[in-house]
Amino acid sequence: MQLLPQEMQSRVHWIIVGDGPSLPKMRLQSPPNVTFTGYMHGEELAVMYASADLFVFPSSTETFGNVVLEAMASGLPVVAANAGGVKDLVSHHRNGVLFEPGQADALIREICLWGNHGNQLRMMGLEGRKLAEQRSWEHIFDTLIGDYEEAIEHRNRKTKDRIITA
């Protein structure tokens, strides 16, 4: 947040939703254009999504990307680290933007670039909403089970090949 160029600082208001062990340190180091809401859920969280223009998600450890999917369901374009479950949700320049994890300069560059392209952001938000409408826990678990079945089949083939060739 502190690396955002001054001309963008005046245009951006960061809203940090959630809590955790890093929160006290983040509060101390944050610039004045940041609001910390603490933990939210339900209607309260929906209001936060609805009031935003862009969802920024720099985490590289998210497994399923639930918060990204929630943001997309709210019609928000997403700027996210290209890692974990997020990379399976965000189609680069279609429903959001991916940047390399841990690369703060790449994140800042994308925010600055897309902050000046409101129409494209709205289009990405609409595409993200379409994707979110197609997702459900049933779909997620079916995909996960399919991935496990494929991995087991692959392992069984390798084992069978070793037995035949041994």
**Tens of pLDDT, residue by residue, the chain (166 residues):** 888 999 898 899 999 999 999 999 999 999 999 999 999 999 999 999 989 999 999 998 877 788 999 999 999 999 999 999 899 899 999 999 999 999 999 999 999 998 888 899 999 999 999 999 888 777 767 777 888 888 898 888 877 666 665 5
Instruction: State the pLDDT at residue 163.
Output: 64
Q: For 100, which DSSP code?
A: -
77 phi, psi to nearest 5 deg: -70, 150
Q: Pull the structure tokens for residue 64.
A: 């399923």
In whole angstroms, give the CA distance from residue 52 to residue 35.
Answer: 13
Alpha-carbon span 103 to 99, nearest angstrom:
7
Closest C-alpha among 21, 25, 45 to residue 34? 25
Query: What's the confidence (pLDDT) of residue 55?
Result: 96
Per-residue pLDDT at 147? 85
> What is the residue whose two structure tokens read 């494929």?
150
- Residue 63's identity, in one-letter code, is T
Tell me whether strands 34-38 and 55-57 are parallel, antiparallel or unpaired.
unpaired
The pLDDT score that the predictor gives to residue 136 is 72
pLDDT at 104 (0 to 100) = 94
Q: What pLDDT is recorded for position 166?
A: 56
For residue 92, which amino acid is it?
H
Beta-carbon-side half-sphere exposure of residue 77 (alpha carbons within 13 Å): 23
Query: Can you give the pLDDT at residue 161?
Result: 66
Closest CA to 90 of 100, 99, 75, 78: 78
Element containing residue 38 per DSSP (H, E)? strand 34-38
Q: SS3 breakdown of the chain: % helix, strand, coil, rounded to 5?
A: 55, 15, 30
